[in-house]
Amino acid sequence: MEVKIDRLDHQGRGIAMMDKVTFIPDALPGEIVDIEITESKSKYNVGEVKNYIQKSDVRIKPVCPYYHVCGGCDLMHISYDEEVKYKENKIKNIMQRYAGLTNVSKIVRCQTELGYRNKVTFKVDKKLGIYKKDSHDITYIDNCMLISEQMNSYIEIINKMDLTGVYEVVIRESDNADMIIFKCNDDVKLDVDDLEANVVRYYDRKYKTLKGNNYIIDKIGDLSYKISPSSFFQVNSHQVKRLYDLVLENLELKNTDKVLDLYCGTGTIGLYVSRYCSDVFGIEINEDAIKDANYNKKLNDIDNIFFTVGDSKIIKDISYKANKIIVDPPRAGLDKKVIDEILNINPETLVYVSCDPITLARDLNILKNNYTVEKIIPVDMFPRTYHVETVCKLKRK
């Protein structure tokens, strides 16, 4: 079936307009392709390219040999220049369509498009691999171009091990040390002598240290952060300082400001901005993350930040009177109760860090009734994928 690609969707797939919308991975606007329908739903189809009849001028050959079978990357068939154009336009389209906002800034490019990830998760079936896109089938790989040579060196060593009973392996890297986490179905025996890293086993919802420490220390600017096996930490070591600098810049802090840091995780953003204000109060639902946050507070000798475990209910109960708020929620965005509590606190400035533009637009559409959305800044934290981080500055009307 021959079709012409009209545009790209929000996941970087080509769109062809047939009897119904058809999504076609690895197809670019203007291309004419021969496709086969692989999935048919009531409102859309999914197709697969069988032959390129006419290719786009911006198409390039992917540098990764696994690109067409691995589900890790989405945009390696276009140049990085084209990728950031696509991402900036994607944010513009989503903000205008779902929030009626048109003031999207120029995207902040990443310094490097490859080798930027400090964390990678491999699935295991005798060897390490990554799920194929939209599948639980594993593609075995010997090298990933989104991680460093040092992290890749572990793949060869781990693939020589007996991985019976292991279903997932996580590799984390920092300037201080590396950490490898083996997630197991049962109480397996692992020979980890050849791994020059901290090694941890995850079994029965518990972590056990097999070698070295059960954490690593990484830096953002001049601050140090403890990263435990389950801790969230921005995966792009090259771009994270720029992201946090944007948060700091848009908070416009004075030494009298009191900052509430919601979804604070291990305190990374709160600690980063704490030196420029009166004090910071961080709230996070994950108890282990708060333990790390308090460790990081002591590690950096910072005494004007306070952390507590809690969800939206605790925001209402605390007596902390913030005049500025930071939110960095998961992909699901802000809970409706959290939005209600933010509006109740009525801060003069709100800085919203988002990893999902759709839920961001949904939330901004509510918040804009009380706040002027002054800035929407796309930040490329995930080169060669369709994902985009966004920093938004909102000022009370």
Residue 28 token pair: 């670019």
264 given a catalytic annotation: no
Spell out the long-range contacts of 30-36 with Cβ–Cβ below 8 A and sequence spacing 24 or more. Answer: 30/4, 30/5, 30/54, 30/56, 31/4, 31/5, 31/55, 31/56, 31/59, 32/2, 32/3, 32/4, 32/5, 33/2, 33/3, 33/5, 34/1, 34/2, 35/1, 35/2, 35/3, 36/1
Q: Which of 137, 12, 175 is nearest to 87 (CA)?
A: 12
Give φ, ψ of 359 to 5 degrees: -70, -30
Name residue, tokens 């392709």. 33
State how far the Cα of 123 lies from the Cα of 182, in Å rounded to an integer.
Answer: 10
Partnered with residue 279 across adjacent β-strands are: 258
Residue 61 makes CB contacts below 8 A (sequence gap 6+) with: 77
Place of tokens 């593609």: 139
Question: Phi-psi bin for 265: left (phi > 0), alpha (psi -120 to 50), beta?
Answer: left
**Ordered alpha helix ranges (H), 121-266:** 149-159, 240-251
Task: Tell how strand 21-24 and strand 44-54 pair up.
Answer: parallel
Distance CA 97, CA 32 (A): 28
Q: Which residues pair with 35 in a beta bridge?
A: 49
Closest CA to 69 of 37, 30, 25: 25
Among the options 110, 264, 355, 392, which is catalytic? Answer: 355
**Contact present, 64 and 372 (Cβ < 8 Å):** no
Asked if residues 202 and 184 have their Cβ atoms less than 8 Å apart, the reply is: yes
CA 322/CA 348 separation, integer angstroms: 9
Cα–Cα dist 74/72, whole Å: 7
What token pair was written down for 225?
Answer: 């952060």
Q: Any idea which residues carry the catalytic annotation?
A: 355
